[in-house]
Amino acid sequence: MADILRLPGEFPDRALYKFYKKLEYAVAFAECGQFRMGLLGYYRDIEDHVRSDSSEGFGHIQRREEIDVGYFTVGKPDEFEVRQELAFMHHRSVMGNPIFIFSTSQEGVDIGAMRERFGRYVVCIENPVQLAQDITAHLACGPATFGAGVEGRIIQYNQGEVLDEELEGWDFIAMSYRQKPSNFGIEKEFRYIAINTNEHEHRIQCDYIEIDLGGPLEYLTLIHPDE
């Protein structure tokens, strides 16, 4: 992985893939640099069951922690004992700002399975870092603010599972957009993330934002179904 100083997150050194059901959308992305970044919460309620995820936007882990457990003695109501025992504690997080994402798949994903799942038309992103930089530059020209720029993240398929590592502060909050349930693991998702950081009354109120990078981009290649 290559860490990019000017952008948050991490970006792969190898190509990414974007799948489309409609040729017109694939062509718009590959040849015109036009696409949408969807609001994270939008995917909780969409009718498309393949893309829908009711837990999208919520981080969830379990940790083994010591808790105090009280015991009464049968027949002796005045006797009360407190013991420390290990238990699985649930921790959840959510981000208050609007988060917009553009989902892709990493190299090594099952192309055939993904075509059946998301569409036959594939756009290969040969320079993932450059795409993030171009999206960041595009967003910087608009009235909304997006923090330090577009963030890149490999999705972790461990939502709701037991983790031994310590997560605090921002890493804990960021689970809300970096994590999905294990049944989505086939997608090998890499996600471009734009967090709207305007003051509350000026935040974006829509299900997606339109991106137009202004023409064909040399690092994008359209792969037709017969290729």
Residue 124 counted as domain residue: yes
**Number of Cβ within a 10 Å radius of residue 41:** 15
Report the percentage of the chain scoring pLDDT > 90. Answer: 63
Which domain range does residue 45 map to? 16-59+93-223
Pull the structure tokens for residue 167: 């997560």
Residue 40 belongs to a domain = yes
Estimate to the nearest angstrom the gap between the alpha carbon of 67 and the chain centroid.
32
Segment 156-172 shows an average pLDDT of 85
Residue 44 domain-assigned (yes or no): yes
List pLDDT tens digits, range 27-86: 999 999 999 999 998 888 765 666 667 888 899 988 888 889 888 888 887 888 898 988
Is residue 24 classed as helix, strand or coil in its secondary structure? helix
- pLDDT value for 3: 44
Domain count along the chain: 1
Mean pLDDT is lowest, of 5-14, 48-57, 192-201, 211-220, for: 48-57
Q: 5 falls in which pLDDT band (50, 70, 90)? A: very low
Q: 128 lies in a domain? A: yes
In a domain, residue 9? The reply is: no
- Lowest-confidence range among 6-10, 88-92, 203-207? 6-10
In-domain check, residue 79:
no
In angstroms, what is the C-alpha Rg of the chain? Answer: 21
Torsional class of 9: left (φ above 0), alpha (ψ -120 to 50), beta (otherwise): left
Cβ(146)–Cβ(139) under 8 Å? yes
Is residue 64 one of the residues assigned to a domain? Answer: no
Question: What does the DSSP 8-state code read for residue 53?
Answer: -
Give the helix ranges, DSSP H, for 101-209. Answer: 111-118, 128-140, 169-173, 175-178
Contact 179, 154 (CB under 8 A): no
Cα torsion through 156, 159, 163, 168, rounded to 10: 80
Q: How far is CA 85 from CA 16, 33, 61, 158, 198, in A?
A: 46, 56, 19, 25, 44
Residue 2 lies in a domain: no
User: What is the pTM assigned to this prediction?
Assistant: 0.86
